[in-house]
Structures are given as C-alpha cells and as structure tokens.
Amino acid sequence: MFIDYSEIYKLGIESIDNQHEKWIDLYNEFNDAFFNENSPIKSDKVKETIKGMYDYATYHFKYEEDFMYRIGYKKLADHRRLHRDMDTMIYDCLRKITDGVDITEERILYILRQWIINHILKEDREIKEYMLSNNIQEN
C-alpha cells in the first residue's frame, strides 16, 4: 500500500510540495515497518515511524495553516478542522501502539493512505486554485 510520490501530487507551491513529499515518505516508512517487522505492535520501528508521522503532521499542518492565513484563504477554518481530525487519528494510533494495544494495521494504513491522497488531491489543490484565481504568488 505504498504511495508513489509523483507529479500528480504537486500543487506548484514548492514549500508545500516538498513537505507533501516528506509526508508521503514517512507514510511509506510506517507502511514498511508494519509489514516487515515480526511483531508490529511491539516493534520500536513501528513506534518510531508513527511518532515521526505525528511530529511531522504537527509541523506540516501548522505551516500549511500559516500559509493559508497569509494568503487570505477563505476556507482556512474548514481546512484546519480536517487537519485536527487527522492529527487526532494519528495521535490515537500512536497512543495505542505505544500502549501495546492491538490494532488492525491494514485499516490504519488504509485510512492514512486515503486521507493523505484525498487531502492533497482535493483539499490542498483548492489552495492552489484560490491562489490562481486571486493572482497570488508563493512568497
């Protein structure tokens, strides 16, 4: 269930595109850890990668929200809610893994994968469309 980062995910906003590529790399590391460790729930690698995803999501979401604020993006509040939902989901996954709770890795990976893909291709693409329609350049 890897995500191959390609041109389709690029918005044309270099700073955000670079972060999306890193975000997808972290997802792929988490995916790899789940399927290549003997005991996924107890694996330090699984814990380390989900912690890395959580930390990076916090950084990326703040950066993206600050960017949207700077350009006067009208759907900032809605977009922020989507980020909070994802942040909560990743944190819940991290907490369960850290506590040794058995989770269904396929479900977690499916949710993460779908959210990342759909969020970039739909929600984040709307940021770029807003910029184009309002003649706003990335600064």
pLDDT in tens, 77-106: 999 999 999 999 888 888 887 887 766 666
What's the burial of 20, exposed, middle or buried (CB within 10 Å: 0-12/13-18/19+)?
buried
Domain extent listing, the chain:
24-133
Class of domain 24-133 (CATH, top level): mainly alpha
pTM surpassing 0.75?
A: yes
Q: What is the pLDDT of residue 13?
A: 94
Enter the DSSP assignment of 37: S
Q: Is the dihedral of CA 138, 120, 60, 2 positive or negative?
A: negative
Residue 126 in tokens: 């709307």
